[in-house]
Structure 1
Amino acid sequence: MQSLIQQYFPNVLLLKQEFINSTIETLYMVFWTAIIAGILGTLLGVILVATGPEGILKNSVLYNILEKIINICRSIPFIIMLALIQPITRFLTGTTIGTTAALVPLVIGVIPFFARQIENALLEVDPGVIEAAESMGTSPLGIIFRVYLVEGLPSIIRVSSVTIINLIGLTAMAGAIGAGGLGNLAITRGYNRFQTDVTIVATLIILVLVFASQFISNTLIKKTSH
């Protein structure tokens, strides 16, 4: 077994510590982006639902402005956004290279996508339950926390999983321009130096992260569905 690994993955054996460090960097970017973009994206998604055409706090002006901003941001390819917001990234972090600097474009890129996902998830909540809560005199804030977020929890978990899987792919793309992580390792050491085994193993680790995320979300959905 050891001889087979040495034969087919010689460079991987030499870069074991770099693989460990790159995996940690990828998890770092995914974790903090998920936390920050998750909070802001959920808030934005709730506002979209609450102020939408059928919302409990209808406000067509605010809804239309937010919707247009989200649509514009979602239309910009991530690789272009990385370049566009470099001045903002440098202002906030002092650099445009590294895992911490990558958080800025990752958060900005994920928020509009996740906000739209949250909006779609909350729109799946049974309108009858919302009407019942309103008839009982529940305040709009109470409806948001006790109805939308509670009844829509399985859908929220599902779209969160989709977003995290998409986020893992974005970290790999950010790695291509110096953000670190498995994407950076796959490009700089694997592709650029023709070390195919490095690229393959980095890709496999990314796939493991994706499958693990999917497994966790499926488990949580089963526990919260009723």
Structure 2
Amino acid sequence: MKDVFEIAVCDDSSFDRFVIAEMIDCYFKDKSFLYHVTEYCNEVTLIDDIEESNRYDIIFLDIYLNSLLGIEVAKKLRSGGYNGRIVFLTASDKYAVESYDVDAAGYLLKPHNYEKFCNVMDRVLIGRRKNTIIVKKRSSVEYISYDNIRYIESSNTKCLIHCSDGKVHTIYTRLDLLENDIDDKRFLRCHRSFLVNLYYVRSMNKNFVMDNDEIVLIKKKSIKDIRRMYLEYNSNAVLTGDLAEIVGV
């Protein structure tokens, strides 16, 4: 089964649930990971579901619900062990201060504004951190720093992230999408199945030899261009001292 970000939207207004779901779809459209949205029209079912599985990474929670205030719902969830992200939806900022008591990740005022929604998403909702890849585990989310990635390997419908500590993490996405998301000059697409971090390359011949002796393939037709980029990276790294740890300088 593929790992996905599980998102709940709890609001007694069908229109508001629809709007948030549409914003979520727009936001994740070009992202390199999967997600699933479950809508709730009442807090009772939400609480029951979370008590049973605690599966949601993110909950959008209306402040004014049927029988309980969203703040009270959040307190029940926290007291029951829920440690995911909670973002409140409301037409008033009356309870903004109280939201800190339940470790709220955001507070969105109605009518909904997509730009503000995206700001919340970027800043806290999925915990996006610069220079990291987000990997969804069974019951948690892990952030893999670019610094710790030796190379990324495409394998059918998933990518394998090979790290400097020897661990290999799996993410269900295409290598093309990961390549687009990673804005770092250390990473080079050297083969249709490999994206390599040049920091960890020990040497290059027909293929890359990594610092742990693993081999990363190089596309034969592109070997001249790849060699040039590799040499350029080494020249810049020597100037800035980035190669010191690898070559023992």
The structure carrying a bigger helix percent of its residues is 1
The structure carrying a bigger strand percent of its residues is 2
TM-score range, shorter chain: under 0.3
Q: Which has the higher contact order (CA 8 A, sep 6+)?
A: 1
Larger radius of gyration: 2
TM-score norm. by structure 1 comes to 0.28
